[in-house]
Structure 1
Amino acid sequence: METTYRVPVAERDASTRADFILRTYTHLIGAILLFVAIEYAFFASGIAQPMAEAMTSVSWLLVLGGFVAVSWFASRAAMTAESKAAQYAALGAFVLAEAIIFVPLLFMAMYYTNSGMELINDAAWVTILGLAGLTGIAFWTRKDFSFLGGILKWAFILAIVAIVSAVLFGFSLGTWFSVLMIGLAGAAILYDTSNIIHHYPEDRYVGAALALFASVALMFWYVLRLFMSRD
């Protein structure tokens, strides 16, 4: 089967490149706002508590496995589907999956720490500042960070092995694991931003936004965990 070559947006004219970048970050902001809206609905309706209790009462590996499956299908659909409706459905499904998996962590941060909502807000602001700084580096240097792809792949595999081992053998990964995962998420943001500048075709802004949202969510997760461990 012949593969259709898609011209990277970097090879297009300046107007097309600017439009692609604007569309990508508009969709990223939309995904973040949708995530916040879903979490607000969960907590305002009162279903966050039973969701958190249900998710923490079963093996975390089942939850993680379901999330990985949804993530894989959503990412693949966003990058390969020709239909815009399918791409948006993939992005929406991924945001919903992220919102669900975040419920236990947000519930514990809100009700089992001294700072509660303030802690969540602080973690969100640190994540936003991290995203802004890394985005600035990528756009300022215009360097192609695609070489990070292989490093990130193996680093994520090792991280998953560590998480699975912690669940199976009942040990805590500790503060330094959160710090390392924040660094890994930062590298992923740099890699995703570089791909947005250099490698994505102009019709894949939904997939680009999904990839970047995944990295931002990962950073937020571990920044929040780090703050919770010190509260």
Structure 2
Amino acid sequence: MELASTQQQGYGPARERFISKTFNHLGAALLAFVAIEVILFKSGVAEGIAKTMLGLPWLLIIGAFTLLGWLASRTAHTVESLPVQYAALGAYIFLESIFFVPMFYIADKFAPGAIANAGLITVLGTIGLVAIVYTSRKDFSFLGAILKWGGLLALALIVCSAIFGFKLGIFFDVVMIGFAGAAILYDTSNVIHHYPEDRYVGAALELFASVALMLWYVLRLLISLRD
């Protein structure tokens, strides 16, 4: 999807409303994610989901999640119908919630307190990164190519890890936290400079995906440090 640049148009009321809507939707998405996780764990459903997913080939789970996530993102960015855009965002939040269940289950069993700490670190990190972009108004679109190739390399390493059975280790987690931080900078920059002003749902979805990625690897790191 091509993003319409607004750098030469300034940041008028319409753009500021778009930015506000995007981050309001991001906040709502994060709250919905937390609410779903609480419901899954309080009801006891999470344990069954975790045990089932942990018994499946991890490559199958990653492949299914990647495909469904791409479809949801594509829909939110291209479909004109606002209700369908919201449905895509809701579907993506639900998918992320299910994907996180095994990680939260392991953390709850073997690293008490790690989930809350990871959440706090992720929120503070996200706020700091967003503030950097918003206050400086610097365009981080140059990160796009780096993120594309870095993401492909990370995916290749994850696939090789699953196939050959080696652990990626703490260093990989740290690098991926940095990768997620760069993605948040890139997405925030696109929100401020490039996204069409009617695509706040899709913009919020992209930001939510990057924040979720950071949470995943921060939590992985904290669990690893407990071992």
Q: TM-score, normalised by structure 2?
A: 0.96
Alignment-mate amino acid for residue 50 of structure 2: A
In structure 2, the partner of 1:160 is: 155
In structure 1, the partner of 2:93 is: 95
- Please give the alpha-carbon distance, in whole angstroms, between the structure 1 residues aligned to 2:194 and 2:119: 29
**What value does the CA root-mean-square deviation take over the aligned residues?**
1.5
The CA deviation at 1:166 is: 0.5
In structure 1, the partner of 2:22 is: 24
The CA deviation at 1:218 is: 0.2
Superposed counterparts of 1:161-200, under 5 Å: 161-200=156-195
Alignment-mate amino acid for residue 24 of structure 1: T
Residues 145, 37 of structure 1: CA spacing in aligned structure 2 closer, same or farther, 3 A cutoff?
Answer: same
Corresponding position: 1:218 with 2:218 = no
Structure 1 unaligned residues grouped into runs of 5+ = none
The CA deviation at 1:67 is: 0.5
In structure 1, the partner of 2:33 is: 35
Q: Is the 8 A contact 2:3 2:194 kept in 1?
A: no
**Residues matched between the structures, number:** 225
Q: Is the 8 A contact 1:28 1:213 kept in 2?
A: yes
SS of structure 2 residue aligned to 1:207: helix
Alignment-mate amino acid for residue 97 of structure 2: A
Corresponding position: 1:125 with 2:120 = yes
Structure 2 unaligned residues grouped into runs of 5+ = none
Residues 12, 144 of structure 1: CA spacing in aligned structure 2 closer, same or farther, 3 A cutoff?
Answer: closer
Q: TM-score, normalised by structure 1?
A: 0.94
In structure 1, the partner of 2:135 is: 140
- Please give the alpha-carbon distance, in whole angstroms, between the structure 1 residues aligned to 2:4 and 2:149: 28
Superposed counterparts of 1:28-107, under 5 Å: 28-107=26-105
Q: Please list every run of at least 4 consecutive aligned residues from structure 1 whose deviation after the TM superposition is greater than 3 angstroms.
A: 5-10
Deviations for 1:82-119, whole angstroms, at most 9, x for unmatched residues? 00011001100100110001000000000122xx1x21
Deviations for 1:26-84, whole angstroms, at most 9, x for unmatched residues? 10011001101111111011011111110010100111011001111011000001000
Alignment-mate amino acid for residue 147 of structure 2: L
Q: Is the 8 A contact 2:89 2:201 kept in 1?
A: yes
- Please give the alpha-carbon distance, in whole angstroms, between the structure 1 residues aligned to 2:98 and 2:4: 36
